[in-house]
Each structure stands twice: as structure tokens, then as C-alpha cells.
Structure 1
């Protein structure tokens, strides 16, 4: 099925007057948010700030209490919404997979293509080929036949990214993609995301607690607190000790380490 045609000069992602309520309270209130094609917006804030809620609202996992979410100018609650949503893929936080789960890495990644094919259609060779291509892109093509539950945490997260990419999205949502991973796996996953974003011309919305990855990975940063935006600006300006200290209610220092700046709590 062909993709919806983007309207001229429209941002990749646009939110207007969006409110999400959970258990009777406002979990997210976003008056306006635009993200241009090919850009990476990092979303930071303490636990409960609304980062995951924002991503869930954008991809349709949470119902909006009011407001509009548009993808390339098309309303995700209007006519053609189901088709438009196929251009958004979400990668959740890393979770343990039962090693006894009878599914291979390739089979897991192929399931990402069902959003476009439908669950009742036979997967076919083309989907298997695309899934293998995505596994190669994320660096674990050699693990295609291994049981998914026997992968390391970093390998499972790479498989999750490959699964999302098999959907052929134009907008990729990442919810804490490096949580529960060791430092080397974190570095590898972030490098993988940066490479894929450029190669596949993706627009990325990234919720993260990894403040030290912001400058290298993101174009801009959005600070959330209690479901409300506090600040948005260039990633380099986000690494401000006073701003971060106020956001996290903690004493923060930003120090130079070679050409990098590092956030210390």
C-alpha cells in the first residue's frame, strides 16, 4: 500500500493542544510541538515527567483527552490514520526475554513487518529478506537463527530496533533504549541509532536518562516536568548545570572531558 504523501513544508511530527489524562490526572499537556524531518529530538526529565506518555500518545498507545497529532501533515486520528501510523515505529525499554521462548531472532524481527502486511497474510520471502537486511544493519545478522531469549541485553535491544525498522517507518520513537544495559552496550546502541538515522533518513524522538549522549546524538532537547514542557533548545545548551539541577532537583556539574562535556550528579 502506498504511503500518504507529505504536505509541502509540513514538519514530520506535529502536536497541537494535546492533553493526556491517566487515572483522572493530567499526565501530559503539550500546547505545541513540531519536529522537522531528519531531526533527532531528545526528551529528558525525571521519572514521571511524561516522557513515555509523550511517545505513547504519538504512536496511539494512549488515547488523547484532547488535541491533534499529525504525521507529515496527516491527522493520526482522522481519515487514513491507520495507514499513517504505519510510518511510526516504537522501540520500548529493554526487557528480559524468557530463554525458553520458541522464537528465533529472525522470526521476531519479521513481526515488525506485519503492520504493513497484516497479520493474516503469509510473511513471504520479501519480508524475510528485509528483516535480514535490518539485522545486518544493526550488526547482528549472524544471530538471525538464534533463539531470541538467548541474546544478551544489548543484542536483544538491537533486535528490537531491527524489528521496528522492518516496519519501514519514517519516524522512530525510542523509549529509554539504553536502560539496563552495561556502558559498552549503551555506547554501541547509541552509535547504532546515530548511524541508522543518517542512513535511513529517519526522524527520531528519543526519551532518555542518558544526558551524556545528548550532544552527540540529538539536534535538540526537550525538558519535561510533571507532563509539561519546561525548555526546548539546541542539545549543547541543554547541558547547563543550573537548568539540569532545577529539572532533576539535584546538584549537577557539567565538566569538560577532552572535546566532550560530561554531566555529573
Structure 2
């Protein structure tokens, strides 16, 4: 497998996202591109994406190749790169070689591969009860005005009256925050209240760094899906298991 990355900094942001899920990630390389799927946090989070061959400036992979990589090590290397640096990848059955070109200078890194076994995961199609779009600015506000204050789980409730409103509550050791977010719901068919763990919200709110609009949707009693297009050639889908509450009848409007 040989590939040249179009945007080194964007690729670094993508690898940083993978680090939120798992330290060791398997990259399934093939003629059509690179597939990635991994779980995290005791199998409560899943990320799935496909980097098509058009995602890269150049990409050649004549036969299937599995690259098990420590993405923390990979991220440490990519963090050193400048936006204008050229990054190329060369994978074999034993190592992945990264080459960073800075003008006429080149630095190469050889990464040892890891054997990673992944159980086949089937993501079923669902009939959504709720769907809305979230802008990067909304995610930044949730991060700074709620998550940074409570460092706790988030509880959500969608309400349709004169406006589409997403009620958000989060409670810390010494404080409680409630936010009413005015949004435009794409789907709202009797959605149930749901809660997401603090670790999940760290990942979700951190997605503002990609500066892309996200779609958040779910079917009642199913994982919460968050997805966005990294660019025209790469889509990223994440699923987060909702928190199980001992009291599903708590009135969030109280």
C-alpha cells in the first residue's frame, strides 16, 4: 500500500479522533480505500469510517492489507508535521513507513504493526425517532458552558412546541446546569429522553475541531448516532450507548 495525504493537519485531527476510542486500531486497506471500525469504553462507543482512494492525493493498494497501528504513536509523529508538509505512507505486512517532506528535507518513521482481532459488527438500519443538525459553535458552547463546568453526564430531551428545543441537563459534584438549545429538528417522532456519559460527551463536543456540521439521530432505546462528512471523500459515523437510568420518569422540566 502506498498513499500520499492531501491535508496532513486534517489527517492528524482524524487520527486524534481515533485516539479517543482506542489506542490500537486496525486499518483495513484495499483497492477501494481504507476501512476503519473500532470500539471503546467497554464497547459502549463505536466509530466507523471509510477513507476512499479519492481521499488521498495518490493511493495504490493492489491486494488487501491489514495494518494494526498504535494511533497514539502515530498521532505523536503527525503532531510534529506542519500543514504544508507532504506526508506519504507505505505499508507492508510488517511495518508502516511514514515519510514527512519539509521542502527538500525528509524524515521517515517505521512503525511496527500489531495483531488486532476485531469481531464482525453489523450496524442495523433503524427507523429514527429523532434527528437534528449540530453546528461546531453549538458543540463549543456545550463544551465550555456545560461540560467544562460539571464534568458530568448529559441528559437530553427533545421538545416541540412553538420552537424545536433540545433540553440539556448536566450535574456535577457541586453544581447543576440546564440549557435550552433552539434547533430545527429534522425528525421528531415521540423521542424518548436519553443520557450520555461524560466520556461520550468529551468525544462529541470535541468534534467541533473538524469545523463540520454534525447529524445527531437515534431510535428509541438504541445507541445515539453522530455522523459527519470529513470531506467529499470520507464520512465518519459514531455510535454511543445511552446511559441506563434508575429513574426514567424524572421530569427534566421540573
Give the TM bin, normalised by the shorter chain.
under 0.3
Hey, which of these two has a bigger chunk of strand by percent?
A: 2
TM-score, structure 2 as length reference:
0.22
Greater CA radius of gyration, 1 or 2? 2
Larger RCO: Structure 1 or Structure 2 (Cα < 8 Å, ≥ 6 residues apart)? 1
